Amino acid sequence: MVEIWSDLVWISTPTWVTPIPLDLGSASHGKLKADQWRTLGIMHLPLSLIRLWGLRESRDPQSQKCKELLDVIISLMSAVILASSQVTSPSIAAAYLTHMKSYMEGIKKLFPQYRFHPNHHMALHLHEYLCRFGPVHSWWTFPFERIIGMLQRIPTNFKIGMSGALFPCLLKNQLIHVFIQANWSKRYQKALLGPQICGPSSTRRNSALLQFLLVNPSSATLLTRVFEIH
């Protein structure tokens, strides 16, 4: 792990790549997000592990096992890259399946005691979805994860049943706060509300959005529109 930490410092990436915490594995940075796991898996770990395990020719059993493990990891990362590609085709889907099978066979060989999870089974069906529905970007559920994240960050008193007219209003107001605080630029507000009610002060923005919500009582409409625009 020390070697990987030292490599994380030296790895250079463009600015559009999601940054990875340099103290990876410590509790201080909290849970990694899905995109950080993906970035770590397809960029940082292969670079570091190939340097550590892939370059030295050795016949001792430990090195051989490390190389076999590297092959298994590379198969998994290849499958992830193919599955999350922005373009797909039957041949990419077939290549994905090949790599995923190779990964699972490798795991079975290296760790015979390991029991596969339902997710592994599901991953073997992903190639069918790639063929049927196209690239995963158009049908994965990360937008819903974002909504869940927003809802999780709303402060509550953990009392169920605070219903009636007040709670939906509070919830809407909190959602507005979240939208405004989370990378929601003026452009999106203008697109949603029109330029005439977008002022510089956050209070004005809040009240304008609240007004919009009160006129359009279904908050689902707002969410849908916000995410359509975002």
Partner 1 sequence: MATFEPAADVQAVVWNPRTAAKILPNLRNVLLQYDSSLEVEKAQFLKQLIILGLQYTISEKHFGNSCVLLKRCLTSNYFPAIIVSILKVRTSLNALRTLLVVRRYKSIPPSTSISLPGTFPVLGVTLWSSECSDLEIFRPEDLSCHFASLPFEYQGHGEAKVPLVIVISLARVSIYSF
Q: Enumerate binding residues for partner 1 (CB under 8 A).
A: 7, 10-17, 42-44, 46-48, 50-51, 54-55, 57, 67, 70-71, 74, 77-78, 81-82, 85-87, 89, 91-92, 94-95, 99
CB of 48 or CB of 176, closer to partner 1: 48
Write down the least CB distance from residue 184 to partner 1, Å: 19
Write down the least CB distance from residue 86 to partner 1, Å: 5
Cα R_g (the chain), whole angstroms: 23
CB of 70 or CB of 126, closer to partner 1: 70
Burial of 140 (0-12, 13-18, 19+ CB in 10 A): middle
Write down the least CB distance from residue 117 to partner 1, Å: 24
CB of 57 or CB of 60, closer to partner 1: 57
Q: Which of 136, 141, 133, 130 is nearest to 227 (CA)?
A: 141
Position 61, amino acid: P
Position 175, amino acid: L
Secondary structure of residue 41 in the 3-state scheme: helix
How far apart CA 208 and CA 197 sit, in angstroms, is 6
Contact predicate 136/84, CB 8 Å: yes
Burial of 45 (0-12, 13-18, 19+ CB in 10 A): buried
How far apart CA 81 and CA 75 sit, in angstroms, is 10
CB of 68 or CB of 193, closer to partner 1: 68
- Residues contacting 42, CB < 8 A, separation 6+: 77, 80, 81
Tokens of 10: 């030296």
How far apart CA 217 and CA 40 sit, in angstroms, is 42
Write down the least CB distance from residue 5 to partner 1, Å: 13
CB of 83 or CB of 175, closer to partner 1: 83
Write down the least CB distance from residue 188 to partner 1, Å: 17
Write down the least CB distance from residue 181 to partner 1, Å: 25
CB of 39 or CB of 189, closer to partner 1: 39
